[in-house]
């Protein structure tokens, strides 16, 4: 395989909080190939959003990358000068936000918001950028673009607004799209339309996608590979089909067993017992160990980095063989 589009190596992000320094992202290794869609799944607070913001270089003031490299098209984003990185943002690296109501400037017409990036990055004139905005609005399926481009965000429905957000992200033909749960706030039918749209448009422009969500069916629909994140660490990586059919980490297994659409027919739904650990007070050994139905005595000791299982798969669980041959996803749940 040629050089990946994005390669995150050993990325560690610390946050200063009122309760001390937390590691929100711990030694994450992740690659996204050209035109590849990679999903990152995890519960709230697992560090997904922090990971995306770290890649963009837009961490909040109290957060800091303490280690690692973020190689985008052969260059380390962390070593770039501010101005250089800024020119990449919006142009080659674009982000799609979760909440379209807050992600759009409430008092700027949506057409102007879509046209803003092409004017800044591509040096388009006012009328060119207007034409770009009209074209993009039509592409993302907004009816009657000439009229809608004069609307303010609050005048549009949630689905239309999210289309506007996607249009702004795509406005300069990015190479990599970073998506932070862009469909979570939408109802299911709209969600499905938006996902299809994103898939089609990223395929058309050949953009890679890093899609962060807690929603497994969305990953199954959109991505080729998936990384599962727990307490700031990746616990399992692999092709979506393999991971979802034969999870190699008890946490992944627990997640799958709690989703109606993925869960095997006829078996009761189960939720993972307990709740995600407090990042300020992580358990000893494997962070998932207190909630794990397969935990062994040695799970309390040492660290649990991702270990390659094959060319394509990796798991942080040292006892993943315990999951072999279990078709019943509820087995092992307490």
Partner 1 sequence: MLLAESVETHAPPRKRRAQTRRWFHRRTLVLGLAILGVLVFIAAAAPLLTPYNPTVQELSNALKPPSLAHLLGTDPYGRDVWARLLYAGRIDISVAVLAVLTPFLIGTGLGLLMGYYGGWIDLVVGGLIDLVMAFPFYVLIIALVFVLGAGLQGVFVAVALIGWVSYARIIRGEVLSARDREYVLAARASGFGDARIVLRHVLPNVVTQAVVFAMSDIVVVMVGIVTLGYLGLGVPAPTPDWGSMIFDGQTYITSDWLIATVPGLAVVVTGLALSLIGDGLADVLRT
In the complex, which residues of this chain contact partner 1 (CB under 8 A)? 56, 58, 60, 86-91, 94-95, 97, 99, 102-108, 116-117, 120-121, 165, 168
Structure tokens belonging to residue 43:
């519960």
Select 104 or 329, whichever has its Cβ closest to partner 1.
104
In the complex, minimum distance from the CB of residue 72 to partner 1, in angstroms, rounded to a whole number: 14
Select 102 or 271, whichever has its Cβ closest to partner 1.
102
CA nearest to 54, candidates 85, 83, 33: 85
Select 116 or 192, whichever has its Cβ closest to partner 1.
116
* CA-CA-CA-CA dihedral for 2, 5, 11, 14, to nearest 10: 180
Select 121 or 248, whichever has its Cβ closest to partner 1.
121
Select 60 or 274, whichever has its Cβ closest to partner 1.
60
| Measured distance CA(332)–CA(326) in Å, rounded | 10
Cross-strand partners of 236: 228, 315
Task: Measure the N-to-C terminal CA separation of the chain; round to a whole number of Å.
Answer: 42
In the complex, minimum distance from the CB of residue 108 to partner 1, in angstroms, rounded to a whole number: 7
Contact 34, 5 (CB under 8 A): yes
Select 97 or 251, whichever has its Cβ closest to partner 1.
97
Burial tier of 281 (Cβ tally within 10 Å: 0-12, 13-18, 19+): exposed
In the complex, minimum distance from the CB of residue 89 to partner 1, in angstroms, rounded to a whole number: 4
In the complex, minimum distance from the CB of residue 159 to partner 1, in angstroms, rounded to a whole number: 17
Select 154 or 196, whichever has its Cβ closest to partner 1.
154
| Measured distance CA(164)–CA(161) in Å, rounded | 5
Task: List strand residue ranges (DSSP E) for the chain, in order.
Answer: 6-17, 20-32, 37-41, 63-72, 75-76, 93-96, 176-180, 208-213, 225-230, 233-239, 307-308, 314-315
In the complex, minimum distance from the CB of residue 186 to partner 1, in angstroms, rounded to a whole number: 16
Structure tokens belonging to residue 30:
């992740």
In the complex, minimum distance from the CB of residue 233 to partner 1, in angstroms, rounded to a whole number: 25
Task: List strand residue ranges (DSSP E) for 33-136, in order.
Answer: 37-41, 63-72, 75-76, 93-96
| Measured distance CA(213)–CA(42) in Å, rounded | 7
Select 102 or 245, whichever has its Cβ closest to partner 1.
102
| Measured distance CA(84)–CA(81) in Å, rounded | 5
In the complex, minimum distance from the CB of residue 142 to partner 1, in angstroms, rounded to a whole number: 16
In the complex, minimum distance from the CB of residue 306 to partner 1, in angstroms, rounded to a whole number: 28
């Amino acid at each position: 395989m040629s050089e990946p589009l994005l390669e995150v190596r050993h990325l560690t992000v610390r946050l200063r909080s009122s309760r001390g320094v937390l590691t929100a992202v711990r030694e994450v290794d992740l690659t996204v190939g050209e035109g590849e869609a990679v999903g990152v799944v995890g519960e709230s607070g697992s560090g997904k959003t922090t990971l995306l913001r770290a890649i963009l270089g837009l961490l909040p003031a109290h957060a800091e990358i303490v280690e690692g490299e973020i190689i985008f098209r052969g260059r380390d984003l962390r070593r770039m000068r501010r101005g250089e990185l800024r020119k990449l943002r919006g142009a080659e690296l674009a982000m799609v936000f979760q909440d379209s109501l807050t992600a759009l400037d409430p008092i700027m017409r949506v057409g102007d918001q879509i046209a803003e990036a092409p004017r800044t990055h591509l040096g388009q004139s006012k009328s060119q950028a207007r034409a770009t905005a009209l074209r993009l609005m039509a592409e993302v399926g907004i009816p009657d673009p000439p009229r809608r481009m004069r609307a303010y965000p609050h005048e549009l429905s949630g689905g239309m607004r999210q289309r506007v957000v996607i249009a702004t992200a795509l406005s300069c033909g990015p190479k990599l799209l970073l998506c932070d749960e862009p469909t979570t706030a939408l109802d299911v039918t709209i969600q499905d339309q938006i996902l299809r749209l994103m898939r089609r448009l990223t395929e058309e422009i050949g953009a890679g996608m890093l899609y962060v969500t807690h929603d497994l069916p969305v990953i199954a629909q959109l991505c080729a590979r998936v990384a599962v994140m727990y307490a700031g660490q990746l616990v399992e990586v692999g092709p979506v089909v393999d991971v979802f059919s034969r999870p190699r980490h008890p946490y992944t297994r627990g997640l799958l067993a709690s989703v109606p659409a993925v869960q095997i027919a006829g078996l009761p739904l189960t939720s993972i017992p307990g709740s995600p650990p407090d990042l300020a007070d992580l358990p000893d050994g494997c962070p998932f160990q207190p909630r794990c139905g397969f935990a062994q005595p040695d799970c309390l000791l040492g660290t649990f980095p991702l270990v390659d299982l094959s060319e394509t798969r990796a798991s942080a669980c040292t006892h993943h063989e315990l999951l072999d041959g279990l078709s019943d996803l509820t087995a092992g749940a307490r």
